Structure 1
Amino acid sequence: MTGRCLRFLAILLASFALLARPALAQQILRDAETEAFMADMSGPLVKAAGMEPRNVQVFVINDPEINAFVAGGQYVWVHSGLIAQADNVNQLQGVVAHELGHIEGGHIIRSAEGMKEATGITLLSLVLGAAAIAAGGAEAGMGILGAGQQAAMGKFLAFSRAQESSADLAGARYLSKAGVSGKGSLEFFKKLQNLEYRLAIPQEDSYGRTHPLSGERINVLREVYTVDPAWDKPVDPPLEARFERIKAKLIGFVSEPTQTLRKYPESDQTIPAHYARAYAWHKSAYPQKALAEADALLAAMPHDPYFLELKGQILLESGKPADAIAPLREAVKLTNQPLISTLLGHALIATEDDANFAEAEQVLRNAVARDRENPFAWYQLGVVYERRGDTARAALATAERYSMMGQDAMAMRSADAALQGLKPGTVDYLRAQDIAMVSRAAVEQQRKKK
């Protein structure tokens, strides 16, 4: 019976792990305009939470579910489905404020406390159940085990619901301090409540759930928001316009083109509609239609860096890298944004013109200096070094790329290859040493686990 008891414990602990550790395997959607918008939109809320805006980042994950979460560090992860379903920027601000409440409250770290308490209950029930079984009371012993598992799960779920309620109230404080209305927060909870109705989730009691019912949360927060001085403050028009842009381009990028074109028909001549259709046509391999939409955007705003980026991307990915250089150069000049710089570097390399390689190297080195977490930039920089015959630095760039992708064995081999050709004591040599040491330790740890 001991083996069976241990299996019960393993199943329970696995359930806790799934509840407490959100999956980060989804594709992270990196986009210069979206990241700039997220930083500006969340900045006042981050300050209101007593944190430094430059240390907090809001990322978008390619996932159609309406969800957002934090998973360690000062990072907020927002699903693309949530942005697509949000009606305005105020609703998104309400969600982000809630997630900042989790960060400020240290809830990811404190979740271990709830798991520890629940595990303690489980272990006690295992001991008592095993004792009852050994005394001949098999049925009583199994009852104790089952009750202990239920009590442990209930304990953990109650802990999780308390954290959610705490984050709700913290988010309300941040919105108030930042002078942002809580209307969007309530509106979004009503969306979630409607989803609960469609899924036929019982509305009487939130027991057995990780989150309070949306109706419960609305009732509590309504009392807080409606008396706040910012309650009737309208949505900031420029910020709302930016939100509509990034929402449209996101839908155009992640949705099936037919869905995008239904939502944004050609009769719709607004900026967001042109944006969404440009991505839809580009995904459908209609480059001329995509370029026509990009040109329509540039006719309205000739020096918008993100419209220039879009046109450059369409040209580059349609096999016209030389034509892509001019709009991408202007976009980089206007923003100095590393993601756009990487795209320009790619275009310069794709021309296969040796005269462009010096500029490509400079652009890409600047890009990785400002944003090291960009595997594609490292790949392109490695291509430049390889074409120049600088195999040591090509190997180092490859090691950087594999390291951030979590491919430790490949990172170790590439770093070792770089060390063979780099001058000892230089910055590049020391960096290769660091990657080799960290990767080798990770590889050894993986071997020990096998």
Structure 2
Amino acid sequence: MDTTIRRLGTTWMSRARAGLRAAATLGFMTATAATLYPTSEAEAQGISLIRDTEIEALLNDYSQPIFRAAGLGTGRVKVRIVNSDSFNAFVMDGRNVFMHTGTLMQADTPNEVIGVLAHEAGHIAGGHMASLRARIAKDQTRSLLVQLLGIGAMIGGAMAGGDAGREIGSAGQGVMMGGNEVIMRGLTAERRSQESAADQAGLGYLNATGQSGLGMLKTFERFAGQELFMDAHRDAFARTHPVATDRLARLRQLVETSPNYNVKDPPDLQLRHDMVRAKISGYLEPPSVVFNRYPHSNTSQPARYARSIASFRQGAGGVEQGLAGADALIRDFPNNPYFWELKGDILHKSGRSREAIAPLRRALQMHKGGATLVRVQLAQSMIQTKDPALADEAVKLLRQAVQTEPDNATAHNALGQAYYDKGQFAQSELARAQGLFYVGAVKQAQEFAKRAQGGLKAGSPDWVKADDIINYKPQT
């Protein structure tokens, strides 16, 4: 798992901020996730994103048929992974679904996760977030008018004095309180209507792709009983996806009458799901928890995978155990690129960069060049060797990575180091500027871009890139 967390693009983040304000107001999402990447803006957002080739590939395979059925195209909507052990998923705009690691860990089958994705796709296809933001903007204006009316009445009461004045003042307070209550009732009603609409749309997508809605039903049945809990004692999914009794009854009827009701997940997909759960456990849970969850008596692939990762995470003494576990998996399953990636990751993170190159190169070859994160880690290992013979290849790998993912800050920063090692200082400054820009550090990015421009040919493509950063004005 790539625990070097990259920030999303600055432009995307500015859009996300508006969505977060609207979503958090309505409880459409939770803002309780811990922050993994150490940046103040990320902490302010309350969202912690992680990157991993294997998890992203699985979620892509889960989601793309659903998104196509929803008319969302291919590649337009991405599923992003939030590091939080709570069960939740949410949308903030029309381009991103956020899935908690806790959802993957707690979902026993792929169908349960796919059901959640289908529901969130229903929100996107229905334009629900845009509708809610518009409703909030309208109701904020309405609330302001109600408050002005109430304040006016209270002032009038104070000026009138006596019993009449007190009655007018009380009426003013009533106007303010009653008006806000009406607004909140309207928002709640709209939100519940949207949840029901997302259920029905999601079931339509599942039927269109020949999948059961049972996973979606199980998820909502699981959280329906929490409606009466105090908010602090409710799970994130129960807070953000309220389940009314009549809504659950309609959902159950639609699921049970579907011709796909008894369709099961293919065994190979179930295995991939279990492998991802093992990986999340191995990298994110304390090793002691991992060994309890996957005891040595469990000799399955997922259990061996989780224990290999957890062994490495125990510290210096566990590195060799982790490597032994990875080597055993490679011996038994030599065509699994993620086992080669695991070995490379252990070596890279334990400071054995030169040894990491061969397994990471093998993993990249097996992915047929499509794994950007593996490409970046391979380049980083090459850079860390300080071997001039590897410098050109590292630059080539990283240039390919930023072409595939232009907003990958980690790749830009590594490219900056690679250029610096080669003595190409202007290109190094530009790459650093781009890396800073994509983590939202705009002022620092502009300083690096100005330095880069001094060594670049005026009007060249790189000079223009630097100029774009220098002249960028953050959206408010």
**Partner in structure 2 of residue 11 of structure 1:** none
Which is bigger in relative contact order (C-alpha 8 A, separation at least 6)?
A: 2
**1:201-280 residue pairs with structure 2 within 5 A?**
211-213=241-243, 215-280=245-310
Instruction: Sort the Cα spacing of 1:195 and 1:266 in 2 relative to 1 into closer, same or farther, 3 A.
Output: farther
- Find the aligned partners of 2:94 and 2:51 in 1 and give their Cα distance: 18
Aligned: 1:152 with 2:183:
yes
Aligned: 1:55 with 2:72:
no
**1:371-382 residue pairs with structure 2 within 5 A?**
371-382=405-416
**1:30-179 residue pairs with structure 2 within 5 A?**
30-133=51-154, 134-135=156-157, 136=165, 137-179=168-210
- Find the aligned partners of 1:16 and 1:83 in 2 and give their Cα distance: 22
Instruction: Sort the Cα spacing of 1:73 and 1:435 in 2 relative to 1 into closer, same or farther, 3 A.
Output: farther
8 Å CA contact retained: 1:72, 1:108: yes
Of 111-120 and 42-51, the range deviating more from structure 2: 111-120
Aligned: 1:287 with 2:308:
no
1:230 deviates by: 1.0
- Find the aligned partners of 1:55 and 1:113 in 2 and give their Cα distance: 23
1:331 deviates by: 0.9
8 Å CA contact retained: 1:61, 1:77: yes
- Find the aligned partners of 1:216 and 1:298 in 2 and give their Cα distance: 51
- Find the aligned partners of 2:220 and 2:410 in 1 and give their Cα distance: 38
**1:2-41 residue pairs with structure 2 within 5 A?**
18-19=25-26, 22=29, 23=31, 24-41=45-62
Aligned: 1:342 with 2:376:
yes
Aligned: 1:185 with 2:216:
yes
1:414 deviates by: 0.8
- Find the aligned partners of 1:40 and 1:371 in 2 and give their Cα distance: 19
Instruction: Return 5+ residue gaps in structure 2 as ranges.
Output: 1-20, 32-44, 158-164, 232-238
- Find the aligned partners of 1:305 and 1:96 in 2 and give their Cα distance: 26
1:355 deviates by: 1.4
**1:431-446 residue pairs with structure 2 within 5 A?**
431-438=465-472, 441-442=473-474
SS across alignment from 1:58: strand
The one-letter code of the counterpart of 2:271 is: A
- Find the aligned partners of 1:175 and 1:117 in 2 and give their Cα distance: 35
- Find the aligned partners of 1:294 and 1:303 in 2 and give their Cα distance: 13
1:194 deviates by: 4.9
SS across alignment from 2:454: helix
RMSD: 2.0
8 Å CA contact retained: 1:382, 1:398: yes
8 Å CA contact retained: 2:67, 2:73: yes
- Find the aligned partners of 1:280 and 1:106 in 2 and give their Cα distance: 42
Aligned: 1:332 with 2:364:
yes
**Partner in structure 1 of residue 334 of structure 2:** 302
The one-letter code of the counterpart of 1:297 is: L
1:216 deviates by: 3.9
- Find the aligned partners of 2:84 and 2:468 in 1 and give their Cα distance: 34
Instruction: Return 5+ residue gaps in structure 1 as ranges.
Output: 1-13, 202-208
| Candidates 421, 425, 428, aligned match of 1:387 | 421
1:42 deviates by: 0.9
1:215 deviates by: 4.3
Instruction: Sort the Cα spacing of 1:162 and 1:210 in 2 relative to 1 into closer, same or farther, 3 A.
Output: farther
Deviations 1:215-246 (A, max 9, x none): 44331111111111111111122221111111
**Partner in structure 1 of residue 10 of structure 2:** none
Instruction: Sort the Cα spacing of 1:131 and 1:318 in 2 relative to 1 into closer, same or farther, 3 A.
Output: closer
SS across alignment from 2:262: coil
Share of identical aligned residues, percent? 36
1:424 deviates by: 2.0
1:90 deviates by: 0.3
The one-letter code of the counterpart of 1:158 is: A
8 Å CA contact retained: 1:68, 1:82: yes
Deviations 1:294-330 (A, max 9, x none): 1222122112111101100001111211111111111
The one-letter code of the counterpart of 1:53 is: T
1:131 deviates by: 3.6
Aligned: 1:427 with 2:461:
yes
1:211 deviates by: 4.2
8 Å CA contact retained: 1:90, 1:235: yes
TM score, norm. by length of structure 1: 0.89
Report the number of matched residues.
Answer: 421
Instruction: Sort the Cα spacing of 1:89 and 1:347 in 2 relative to 1 into closer, same or farther, 3 A.
Output: same
- Find the aligned partners of 1:227 and 1:16 in 2 and give their Cα distance: 33
The one-letter code of the counterpart of 2:389 is: A
8 Å CA contact retained: 1:160, 1:211: no
1:193 deviates by: 2.8
Instruction: Sort the Cα spacing of 1:210 and 1:187 in 2 relative to 1 into closer, same or farther, 3 A.
Output: closer
8 Å CA contact retained: 1:281, 1:290: yes
Instruction: Sort the Cα spacing of 1:383 and 1:239 in 2 relative to 1 into closer, same or farther, 3 A.
Output: same
The one-letter code of the counterpart of 2:268 is: P
**Partner in structure 2 of residue 9 of structure 1:** none
8 Å CA contact retained: 1:274, 1:296: no
1:282 deviates by: 1.9
1:278 deviates by: 2.0
1:200 deviates by: 6.4
8 Å CA contact retained: 1:192, 1:214: no
Deviations 1:383-406 (A, max 9, x none): 111011111000011011011100
SS across alignment from 1:378: helix
Instruction: Sort the Cα spacing of 1:211 and 1:118 in 2 relative to 1 into closer, same or farther, 3 A.
Output: farther
